[in-house]
Amino acid sequence: MNSSNLIFNKTLIRDKLIPCNSPLRISLRDEFFTSSAILFSIIPYNNKPYDLILIHRTDRGTRHRGEISFPGGKFESEIDKTLLDTALRETEEEIGVPKNKIELIGCLDDFPTMTKYIIKPFIAIIDKDQKLVKEDGEVRRILKVPIDFFIEKQNFREQAIDIGGNQFPIFYFNYIDNESNEKYTIWGATAYMISNFIETVYGITMSNLGLKRFKLEKIKDLKEYIKYRDQIKKKF
């Protein structure tokens, strides 16, 4: 796709997305899973393709340490009234952007992960001049990755992994940051949501394998998925 077609167009993107409260949007609930939300954060520009804001997590925690993700986290019932509250709170905590500096434009379908989370992805705009401040305990680095990197098919990778006798798709992108020359592997749920966004907004299918991710009931039956993570990462 021509990079000029990737200049941010709010009307185009908003019209392709599903309103967050629409009955047409896939909304998932299950007591077996942890409810969570992320902010799929877009930085628009006037003269070049827009960026996505991602974070490189520290080694805190047990399930997603050291991974690349969107700002976000699990629903905290003592603090959050809604999952949007979760996404906004975590975004302010992790990258220092207050909710009054965030413009929500839509949602993707809820997404169940193999680590037993259900993610609600909120798509939002953050101004290019907004200062981003990482929370050192949780975030090693804030990354701004151009959308044209993700939409370029040569940067997309996929694998079919055998899990419990079934073929499971793993999507990933190996991104080399221009400033640090460091390589970051963007994979798992984050890579899948980016691919889903590209297909939803631009009609481009990234995967050639055509494998479906497991649904809630299938994920429930799996034991110790976390043990597969290191095996998967060795193949990137």
Q: What is the pLDDT of residues 88-126, one digit of tens each?
A: 999 999 999 999 999 999 999 999 998 889 999 999 999
The pLDDT-based confidence of 168 (bands split at 50, 70, 90) is confident
Kindly report, residue by residue over 55-74, the tens digit of the pLDDT: 999 977 545 567 999 999 99
CB 198 within 8 A of CB 207: no
Q: Out of 66-80, 82-96, 189-203, 216-230, which region has the weakest mean confidence (pLDDT)?
A: 216-230
Average pLDDT over residues 179-183: 89
The predicted pLDDT at position 221 comes to: 77
The length of the chain in residues reads 236
Q: In what order do the strands lie in the sheet with 156-163?
A: 156-163, 166-176, 183-187
Mean pLDDT, the chain, whole residue set: 91
Average pLDDT over residues 183-193: 95
Give buried/exposed letters for 19-50 (b at 16+ CB in 10 A, else e). Answer: ebeeeebeeeeeeebbbbbbbbbbbbeeeebb
The predicted pLDDT at position 64 comes to: 56
- The Cα 185–Cα 56 span in angstroms is 10
Sequence-distant (≥ 6) Cβ neighbours of residue 4 within 8 angstroms: none
Burial class (CB in 10 A: 0-12, 13-18, 19+), 210: exposed
The pLDDT-based confidence of 193 (bands split at 50, 70, 90) is very high
Average pLDDT over residues 136-164: 93
Q: Is residue 147's pLDDT more than 90?
A: yes
The predicted pLDDT at position 206 comes to: 95
All structural domains of the chain, each given as residue ranges with its CATH number in brackets, are 3-233 (3.90.79.10)
The pLDDT-based confidence of 230 (bands split at 50, 70, 90) is low
The predicted pLDDT at position 137 comes to: 93
CB 53 within 8 A of CB 143: yes
- The Cα 191–Cα 123 span in angstroms is 15
The predicted pLDDT at position 217 comes to: 84
The string of DSSP letters for 182-217 reads: -EEEEEHHHHHHHHHHHHHHH-----SS-PPPP-HH
**Nearest one of 174, 99, 184, 171 to 141, comparing CA atoms:** 184
